[in-house]
Structure 1
């Protein structure tokens, strides 16, 4: 009878060590995040945060997740903590649709969840910021907790992630920012208070989506580490935690008995200086905080006029676009010079469809230029948001030549010659957040001839 009452209490109250029913709601939408002071990123989110809500359960719990699509494009959900088929139930969730899914948390550890509409859309939405952490606390206590006979002074949950200026940069692995918990140098601006001798448990997840991390604390050696967060996967006395995309660790470490700043950093320094660096500030009278959560700051409704940069991996950035290309007119031959080719080489100029973006995003060309659209995305299977097929369709034109390309599969090309000046704003009709601009200008020499 006592055992039955204990199970019932766990189902209702979530008593530690007793299997419980855990309920979470995730809302998929498009969002805008401030990733640095005055720097804003357009992307996708769960619950208007990137990383999304942190889900903490215990081994053996039954987990119920409700997924709501509040966006105008298809979304989905991949749950790495679920040892069961998920895409059948949570893939290809249409705008306005709600799905429910349940699973048992059979394995302890630190897991990733991310948007997964299916196919090509999995990559595109994860790149855009739609991911989070699931922690399944083990029935078996971690070693340091057993040795000390108590829990940690601080639970520190950290997600490392990357932001890209374009799909081309994503394909090439050229991250613009690499962040801890969704913001550049977040814990430099807000150092994490600890005390000398504190027992820290660090839950670390590298969601990528491309780069490797080697988590390190300057001035410390990790006493115990558990690969993927499972207590059975023990490593003793390590300087770094090596993690590829979706790899994770639980790390147990005691702050040395010396006051000062201990730097939390990926030892891949080329990415650390892009934002993946924080400070653990050790003082004997530091305030006590029980946890630091792996969640991003809430999104903003609109980008303020004071913004110094807007990053949009799919569409257009702020004035002074990082991906604006201007094609000059060669005065000797009176024809445009091809982009990325030898001087005076014939056209066409290429616009790539890659990583669910157009590259270059803004193209400035003289009258008479032929532009060739080419699809570099390989996964051209399936349909809708799940496909890597693309087209280009004018939605706003200041000139007489609207255009529509066919829907192009991988490696397919389509050419358009622009004979009239003006500005052509276009999108992909399959992935409407993909946006580009072609500005056709009339060279001064041609204007003079026409007068």
Structure 2
């Protein structure tokens, strides 16, 4: 039975007694996301989707969200639509905990919600897919709806987000895929049907976590746009909607009276070609679709055996991020470094702790080599899932002999010399989904000679 640590946390005693109450339930999981045919990403989810459930309420509603942690690490929730303290009540939710939280939707618009255990964990979990859209529909009508006197033919809820192959790539902003609603070229493979002249309202959110979007339709001009989705923040006749991470727009547009494909794209073309592209297919007899929701495809529990590529930002499963060192050891490089020493001295084999991952994830070295771990994550405050402190531990995990590093803060280093050949699989004991491999081999006489 789930422990209800806080059955109900009401932050405002002034909530209207007759206000509508919209209730939602979010659960946290470790998940495998289908990103493309044969391509999967391992990360974290709300309700086993990324983006998570679309939450739609109306301005003035009382919103109640139950957050239940069904995972093995701490999670949390940041709700950008809530104009009140949330981290105090929804941060650092431990495995097995459930929290219930209420707030009043005071401001209309398109908002982001994301995992927020606190500290470093906020960035690490959002990178792993734990985010979604919450829409607060305004009491005031948007302009085109008022002018036409009718509701949209199509409501399109669209989240742009990024997938990363490693914490190093996340740290440097090098996305492997940039997608709409969780999947690579999702609406190219399945174009969205519309009819010429249709009135379309797009709810657009750039969930990031790192890259800017310039949302555009090829073959049209946005009639009205509303920054952050608020009807008072109006822009007329625009070619693109500029959105940094967590920025949003409501866009009103009528499909031109010409049949054909109208491409939705971020005009940052270096990211568009990574998956952020979709098609509105206009035909006069197209089937009617009232809405396209922002949820991602249903996640999986495990990676299918037939997978051709697996991105695991935190752990193993990305061959492109392996690193091989094939050289004999140099005794001059085997001097110990005290824990806490900060140095820029070059070393032949260095494993970074960055973005809640080890980088490179796999190294291959000869017997006698010293490997140095260095923590590049900056936020080394707090504790547990919320900290950017890391260690490297092979105890109770596969390896010829154990090693246990201290818990390293930012810039701190630790060295270990390998005297036994074999494969060492290790983890961070603070963030156990962080995994790496060190393969130690006995060099041949020819390699030893060449190395010297």
Normalised TM-score (structure 2): 0.91
Do 1:314 and 1:357's aligned partners in 2 also have CA atoms closer than 8 Å?
A: yes
Residue 302 of structure 1, CA deviation: 1.7
- Selected match of 1:327 from 325, 328, 334: 325
Tell me the SS of whatever aligns to 1:126: helix
Cα shift readout 1:13-57 (whole Å, capped 9, x = no counterpart): xxxxx9411000000111111010110110000000000000000
Partner of residue 241, structure 1: 241
Q: Distance in 2 between matches of 1:262 and 1:159?
A: 18
- Whether contact under 8 Å (1:316, 1:361) holds in the other structure is yes
User: Post-superposition shift, 1:258?
Assistant: 0.1
Within a 5 Å distance, the mapping from 1:134-213 to structure 2 comes to 134-213=134-213
Secondary structure of the equivalent of 1:294?
A: coil
> Secondary structure in 2 aligned to 1:129?
coil
SS in 1 for 2:365: strand
User: Given the superposition, is the C-alpha separation of residues 427 and 258 from structure 1 closer, same or farther in structure 2, using an over 3 Å criterion?
Assistant: same
SS at match of 2:320: coil
Alignment of 1:75-114 (within 5 A): 75-114=75-114
Shift of 1:396: 2.9
Post-superposition offset of 1:173: 0.4
- Deviation string 1:243-266 (CA, Å, 9 cap, x unpaired) is 000000000000000000000000
Shift of 1:167: 0.6
For residue 335 of structure 1, report the CA deviation from its aligned partner.
9.3
CA contact (8 A) 1:115 1:125 kept: yes
Whole-Å Cα distance in 2 between the matches of residues 448 and 200 of structure 1? 68
| Pair 1:233–1:390, CA change in 2 (3 A) | same
Deviations 1:123-155 (A, max 9, x none): 000000000000000000000000000000000
Structure 2 equivalent of residue 6 of structure 1: none
Matched residue SS, 1:40: strand
Q: Show the 5 A alignment for 1:9-408.
A: 19-317=19-317, 321-329=319-327, 347-394=347-394, 395-399=396-400, 401-408=401-408
- Are the aligned partners of 1:336 and 1:365 in contact in 2 as well (CA < 8 Å)? no
In structure 2, the residue matched to 1:5 is none
Instruction: Please list every run of at least 4 consecutive aligned residues from structure 1 whose deviation after the TM superposition is greater than 3 angstroms.
Output: 333-337, 345-348, 446-449
Q: Distance in 2 between matches of 1:210 and 1:176?
A: 12
Q: CA deviation at 1:336?
A: 9.4
SS of residue in 2 equivalent to 1:393:
coil
Q: Compute the displacement of 1:182 (Å).
A: 0.2
CA RMSD of aligned residues (A): 1.8
SS at match of 2:385: helix
Unaligned 5+ segments in structure 2 are: 1-17, 335-344
Q: Distance in 1 between matches of 2:209 and 2:287?
A: 35
1:415–1:330 CA distance, 2 compared to 1 (3 A): closer
Q: Which residue of structure 1 aligns with residue 4 of structure 2?
A: none
- Change in 2 beyond 3 A, CA 1:153/1:420: same
Deviation, 1:442, is 1.2
Aligned length: 421
Partners of 1:367 and 1:442 within 8 A in 2: yes
Give CA deviations for 1:66-91 in whole Å, capped at 9, x if unaligned.
00000000000000000000001100
Q: What is the alpha-carbon distance in structure 1 between the residues aligned to residue 151 and residue 232 of structure 2?
A: 18
Distance (Å, rounded) in 1 between the aligned partners of 2:51 and 2:128: 11
The answer to whether the 8 Å contact 1:26/1:47 transfers is yes
Alpha carbons 2:161, 2:178 under 8 Å: kept: yes
Deviations 1:76-126 (A, max 9, x none): 000000000000110000000000000000000000000000000000000
Separation in structure 2 between the aligned mates of residue 379 and residue 74 of structure 1, nearest angstrom: 17
**Which residue does 1:15 correspond to in 2?**
none
Describe the SS at the equivalent of 2:397: strand
The 3-state SS of whatever aligns with 2:303 is: coil
Do the aligned partners of 1:196 and 1:256 also contact (CA within 8 Å) in 2?
Answer: yes
Query: For 1:309 and 1:58, how far apart are their aligned partners in 2?
Result: 41
1:417-439 C-alpha deviation (Å, 9 max, x unpaired): 11211100000000000000000
The CA distance in 2 between the partners of 1:58 and 1:295, in whole Å, is 19
* Contact 2:110–2:229 (8 Å) recurs in 1: yes
Contact 1:329 1:335 in 2 (8 A): no
How big is the shift at 1:397? 3.3
